[in-house]
Amino acid sequence: MKIVGVLIWSLAALADAGSLLENTRSTSEGSGGICLNGGTSVPSLTTGKHMFCLCADGFEGKSCETVKGPDCYEGVGLYYKGSVSISQSGRTCKEWDSDTREQYLSSDVKSGRHNYCRNLLYRRRPWCYVWKNQQLAWEYCEIPRCGFESPAEATCGQRTRIKQMKIVGGTVATVKSHPWVAAIFWHSKSKERVFRCGGSLISACWVLTAAHCFPDGSHSKEDSFSVTLGKNALNETDLTVEQTFGVEEIIIHEGFDINGENFNNDIALLKLKAKRGKCAEESTSVRTVCLPSPQQSLQPGFTCEIAGYGKEKHGLWYKSQYLREARVTLLADDVCRHRDYYGNMITDNMFCAGRPDGSQDACEGDSGGPMVCEVDSRLFQVGVISWGEGCGKAFRPGVYTRVTNYKRWIEEKVGLTSISVGAVFPHK
């Protein structure tokens, strides 16, 4: 008799539950909007009054008022369910259209009736439609990537030792002074490993370098290159310090013309081939460099650093076997464009730096390496060593790719909204 009673009670409870589920939407709608962000009000079985909110995926709180965890995205953001609705240019996202809601967002918050950023169509990260130039266009959203502050990136632009600053005219340095410097090697058909260019570690799996380091352009074969981090000398290998990776992908800026008269858009990215799911690991000899905020720059006269394995003097047939460093001064754009210097060869994507007497400069073999400037005790890469006429010649300073012009491009290719801490640089 007791068992039968339990069974009768259970059936009654199930009936009530079914009635509850049927009336949930109307209860929620009639509860004064107590459950937010698509949440559903669950009433009491006995009184029928609101008891708690059943929140949609990605939300929590008494009234489903907060996004679960930090408002960030994992991977490429396919499962991002946050409420950010601003594009990277600062525009307000438009609501998703009915066809998109029906096809992709039926299980989303409010069945997709919102303007929150989402990653539909498998793009690089969450995006949305915005009104731009009097027409509808899509843009990526300004959302941080979850866990982007990995140990290597959290300490970007920091070195573990004081530099021994008392290239051309420079001094031998240890890689601990420049732990973001990368050595890029090309492998010939005979398996000979030839140093090609310098680079800089900007994220655990990405290296920034110059486009002209790859004469075959977009046809360059990834398996013909490797990258070594933490290298003090080209002719020596220290397995306790160095980290070497194959190259998974080479991305050369679309606007770079290898056959052109100048090196405009001389910038490229290398994606390192992960080992056991990991790329670069932080150490005293391997760290990331910070990238500056877009549209910001340092004043002419500011002294910055360059480092590389290039020739110590123009005309030498051999490169330096050791990492060398030098200090150079940023020149004003009008000086670099003066007819006594480079004239109209300098574009808005370039800038010059050197010494008035030409005593310290980048040289052949330094290409692709970083120029870094110290701001608030961190080193920010403002330039990529690009080109110049000779080495250390008067009125012929080194020319560098202006990194601030490519921050958005880098973020889009790398697939991260912010890959470093932005510097608060004074405007020109």
Q: What is the pLDDT of residues 220-274, one digit of tens each?
A: 999 999 999 999 988 889 999 999 999 999 999 999 987 777 789 999 999 999 9
- The rounded mean pLDDT for the chain is 78
Share of the chain above pLDDT 90, in %: 35
Question: What pLDDT, on the 0 to 100 scale, is given for residue 316?
Answer: 36
Question: What pLDDT, on the 0 to 100 scale, is given for residue 79?
Answer: 81
Mean of pLDDT values over 46-64: 77
The closest alpha carbon to 288, from 411, 161, 182, belongs to 182
Q: What is the pLDDT of residues 113-167, one digit of tens each?
A: 999 999 998 787 899 999 988 899 999 998 877 654 443 445 688 886 544 433 4
The closest alpha carbon to 419, from 164, 147, 223, 177, belongs to 147
Contact 323, 131 (CB under 8 A): no
Q: Which residues pair with 199 in a beta bridge?
A: 182
Contact 280, 152 (CB under 8 A): yes
Between the two ends of the chain, the Cα-to-Cα distance in Å is 88
**Alpha-carbon span 288 to 267, nearest angstrom:** 18
Question: Which of 123-127, 148-152, 279-283, 354-358 is predicted with the least confidence, judged by mean pLDDT?
Answer: 148-152
Q: Where are the domains of the chain?
A: 179-272
**Alpha-carbon span 414 to 424, nearest angstrom:** 23
Q: Of 361-365, 381-385, 396-400, which has the strongest mean pLDDT? A: 381-385
**Alpha-carbon span 68 to 82, nearest angstrom:** 8
Give the contacts of 317 (CB within 8 A, at least 6 positions apart). Answer: none
Q: What is the pLDDT of residues 193-229, one digit of tens each?
A: 899 999 999 999 999 999 999 988 888 999 999 999 9
Residue 126 phi, psi (nearest 5):
-55, 145
**Alpha-carbon span 273 to 181, nearest angstrom:** 17
pLDDT at 296 over 50: yes
Name the CATH topology of 179-272: Thrombin, subunit H (2.40.10)
Bridge-based pairing of strands 50-54 and 59-60 is unpaired
**Which residues does the annotation mark as catalytic?**
212, 266, 367
